[in-house]
Amino acid sequence: MPKLDVTLGVDIGGTNTAFGFIDKNGVCIIESSIPTNSFEPAEKLFDRLSKEIKEFYSKIKEEYNFIGIGIGAPNANYYKGTIEYPPNLKWGYVNVVEILQQYFDVPTAITNDANAAAIGEYEFGAAKGMKDFIVITLGTGLGSGIVANGELLYGADGFAGEIGHTIFDVNGRICGCGRKGCLETYASASGIKRTVFELLSNSLENSSLRDISFNDLTSKMISDSALAGDKIALEAFDFTGKVLGIKLADTVAHFSPQAIILFGGLALSGNLILEPTKKYFEENLLNIFKNKVKLLPSKLTNGNTAVLGASALIWNEIDKAAKKAAFQS
């Protein structure tokens, strides 16, 4: 039997760094994770990580060829192969691709979490066969990965796709970025919490959410309350969908994509978030775009989606290189 090709997907998070060997179809052969130990220098993490990877690869190397590494990480720069001043790690500026290539002699690429999610949907998920689509990641913040003309959009400096920091209301909520009214202060797991607290303050409606502190409240709790018919929770989803729908209509006016895909924590609320977003999205689209742009839930729902996305990044790079080589020969 000839060996099958696998790539390694690595997701570097503030707490854990997960990795897995993923085949061409997006099937995870083997996966694990180690603590990131964010207080340590980056070199120590990659030294520990490389040892683990080698140990795991030794278990499958009779059957599989290890042909590339894809990495998803906060503040990653695809062009430079770096992670730059990540908010949850004390690393400063680290050339991750250079470090990992000292351990593994295979093509290696890095990108941020939202771009990895976008390439993941393209290779294995809801965006298969699409050339123009956008993935919106609804986590603590709102990230976005944009594919235009079949290519991830990086812009002049690698920082394209900051849709979370488009402005919904110039006089709106304070954002972590220092400005006011950014989309992610409304449409994200933390945004919907803020909306719940605004609604609790404005109304006299009874709600199970009145017993929970801001710090204890999670988007899962809001979701559960909404499913139980809690009016405040339902209104919070409606308002979140309204803000997201209005701003995504602007995004469509820029890109005219085939689809927008909702990914990540808050997207797990399913129709609770998808339906109001769709409603206000269609209402606010320019005529020529109405009923044309699909709003879809992620199809990367099995296993570690961040590791899958990271692996998809390098599968995509390897494919592009192969096509280029075929073109030149």
Interface ranges with a copy of itself (CB under 8 A): 131-132, 146, 148-149, 151, 153-163, 165-167, 170, 177-179, 246, 249-251, 253-258, 284, 286-289, 292, 327-328
159 vs 214, beta carbon nearer a copy of itself: 159
Burial 310-328 (b: 16+ CB within 10 A, else e): bbbbbbbbbeeeeeeeeee
Min dist CB 257 to a copy of itself, Å, is: 6
Task: Find the shortest distance in angstroms from Cβ 193 to a copy of itself.
Answer: 22
Least distance to a copy of itself, CB of residue 238, Å: 15
Closer residue to a copy of itself, CB minimum distance, 171 or 201: 171
CB closer to a copy of itself, 22 vs 89: 89
Minimal distance in Å, beta carbon 133 to a copy of itself? 8
Residues 6+ apart with CB under 8 A from 278: 241, 245, 295
Q: How far is the CB of 159 from a copy of itself (least distance, A)?
A: 5
Q: For residues 4-39, b (16+ Cβ closer than 10 Å) or e, as one string? A: eebbbbbbbbeeebbbbbbebebebbebbbeebebe
Closer Cβ to a copy of itself, 2 or 129, answer by number = 129
Q: 210 or 324: whose CB is closer to a copy of itself?
A: 324
CB-count exposure of residue 271 (10 Å: 0-12, 13-18, 19+): exposed
Neighbouring residues of 52: CB distance < 8 A, sequence distance ≥ 6: 19, 32, 34
In the complex, the smallest distance separating the C-beta of residue 276 from a copy of itself, rounded to whole angstroms, is 15
| CB 29 to a copy of itself: min, Å | 33
Question: Phi and psi for 233 in degrees, rounded to 5?
Answer: -65, -45
Q: How many residues does the chain have?
A: 329
Minimum Å gap between C-beta 54 and a copy of itself is 36
Rank residues 232 and 248 by Cβ distance to a copy of itself and give the closer one. 248
State which residue, 90 or 254, has the beta carbon closest to a copy of itself.
254
Give how far the C-alpha of residue 268 lies from the chain's centroid of Cα atoms, to the nearest Å: 13
Q: Closest CB to a copy of itself among 284 and 305? A: 284
Contacts 24+ apart (CB under 8 A), 76-79: 76/110, 76/111, 76/112, 77/110, 77/158, 78/109, 78/110, 78/111, 78/112, 78/115, 78/152, 78/154, 78/158, 79/154, 79/157, 79/158
Residue type, 322: A
